[in-house]
């Protein structure tokens, strides 16, 4: 099927308070124009530059014959150059840098955009170990292990079903999570506090719903993802149409159908690296 001429309704970015965008004017663009938009305005320079590396690199395991690299690096071009990691563009991500930044947060959370083998990623630090035994009503962030339901409302499984089977997927004691930073709506690049609105505020509420801040926010059409709400879910390989189950973070709101998949973290001392064990989870975008 050739969908290159499919028209898409493109809404402007939400207002500063994150309020509904439905009342704002819309423009209609075709798929080619949309990709140009998402690579330039919405995704920022990150997507432009990564585009030159080629998202096809998803098919090439990092560290393999292509000269890839397991190490995750900060990405701080475009909107990101004013973020806390703005001076660390393409420098290796370290856990200690997240800990240092989290100390400036009301709730002890920090996040950053990164690049891993040419792919956009987001890493979030959550003070799980410190807060996991505190009352949920304290509203202090921790990772939440949840049930996941697919688009049809059918139960897919519990996050811990997957981590029981594959403990190397996620180590809650590290207080870190990394996800593939391409939106499950139309593949723009969600960011961490790159815009200011109610969804990105420096606060948190439990439950994986749309209330509270600390969400990854996709500026294209305002989808939100909660990096503390971990679940199993289901998505579709864009090339062959096959469905697959994945472990990831929960979609909190907006047009994105499901959440974002994990890239398992490997700690190499203080350095954050990504495992190549689940590249199939990243196949929902071209």
Between 73 and 182, name the residue whose CB sits nearer to ligand FES.
182
Secondary structure letter of residue 40 according to DSSP: I
The Cα–Cα gap between 230 and 246 comes to 11
**Residue the block writes with tokens 């090339």:** 239
User: Among residues 77 and 221, whose Cβ is nearest to ligand FES?
Assistant: 221
Nearest distance from residue 216's CB to ligand FES, in Å?
A: 10
Which phi and psi angles does 136 have, rounded to 5°? -60, -35
Structure tokens at 82: 């004013």
| Minimum gap (Å) between residue 224 Cβ and ligand FES | 9
The SS3 call for residue 51 is helix
Residue among 85 and 217 whose Cβ is closer to ligand FES = 217
Q: Which of 142, 177, 149 is nearest to 263 (CA)?
A: 177
CB nearer ligand FES, residue 72 or residue 218? 218
Contacts with ligand FES by CB under 6 A lie at 183, 185-186, 188, 218, 220-221, 223, 254-256
Q: Least separation, in Å, of the C-beta of 260 and ligand FES?
A: 10
Q: Supply the minimum distance, in Å, between the C-beta of residue 268 and ligand FES.
A: 31
Q: What dihedral do alpha carbons 116, 227, 85, 186 form, nearest 10°?
A: 60
- Other CB atoms within 10 Å distance of the CB of residue 111: 27
- Six-digit token pair at 79? 């909107």
- Cβ distance to ligand FES smaller for residue 177 or 188: 188
CB of 255 to ligand FES, least distance (A): 5
* Nearer of residues 79 and 185 to ligand FES, judged by Cβ: 185
Query: Whole-angstrom Cα distance, residue 249 to residue 227?
Result: 5
Q: How far is the CB of 9 from ligand FES (least distance, A)?
A: 11
Q: Which CB, 76 or 186, lies closer to ligand FES?
A: 186
The SS3 of residue 54 is coil
CB of 221 to ligand FES, least distance (A): 3
Distances from the Cα of 194 to the Cα of 87, 239, 279, angstroms: 15, 31, 26
CA distance 270 to 222: 33
Which is nearest to 195 in space by CA: 78, 90, 285? 78
Report the distance separating Cα 214 and Cα 204, nearest Å: 6
In the complex, what is the shortest distance from the CB of residue 118 to ligand FES, in angstroms, rounded to a whole number?
A: 20
Nearer to ligand FES, 186 or 279 (CB): 186
**Pairing of the two strands 176-180 and 265-268:** unpaired
């Amino acid at each position: 099927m050739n969908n290159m001429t499919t028209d898409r309704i493109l809404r402007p970015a939400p207002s500063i308070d994150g309020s509904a965008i439905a009342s704002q004017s819309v423009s209609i663009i075709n798929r080619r124009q949309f990709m140009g938009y998402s690579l330039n305005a919405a995704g920022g320079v990150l997507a432009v530059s990564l585009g030159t590396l080629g998202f096809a690199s998803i098919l090439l395991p990092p560290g393999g014959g292509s000269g890839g690299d397991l190490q995750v690096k900060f990405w701080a071009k475009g909107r990101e150059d004013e973020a806390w990691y703005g001076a660390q563009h393409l420098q290796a991500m370290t856990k200690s840098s997240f800990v240092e930044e989290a100390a400036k947060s009301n709730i002890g959370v920090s996040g950053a955009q990164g690049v891993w083998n040419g792919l956009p990623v987001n890493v979030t630090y959550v003070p799980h170990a410190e807060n996991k035994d505190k009352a949920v009503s304290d509203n202090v962030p921790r990772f939440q292990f949840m049930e996941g339901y697919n688009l049809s409302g059918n139960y897919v499984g519990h996050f811990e079903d997957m981590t029981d089977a594959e403990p190397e997927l996620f180590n809650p004691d590290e207080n870190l999570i990394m996800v593939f930073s391409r939106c499950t709506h139309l593949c723009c690049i969600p960011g961490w506090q790159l815009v200011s609105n109610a969804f990105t505020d420096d606060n948190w509420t439990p439950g994986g719903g749309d209330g509270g801040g600390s969400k990854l926010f996709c500026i294209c059409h305002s989808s939100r993802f909660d990096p503390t709400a971990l679940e199993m879910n289901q998505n579709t390989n864009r090339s062959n149409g096959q469905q697959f189950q994945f472990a990831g973070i929960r979609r909190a709101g907006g047009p994105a159908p499901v959440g974002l998949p994990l890239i398992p973290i490997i700690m190499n001392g203080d350095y954050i690296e990504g495992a190549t064990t689940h590249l199939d989870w990243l196949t929902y975008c071209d």
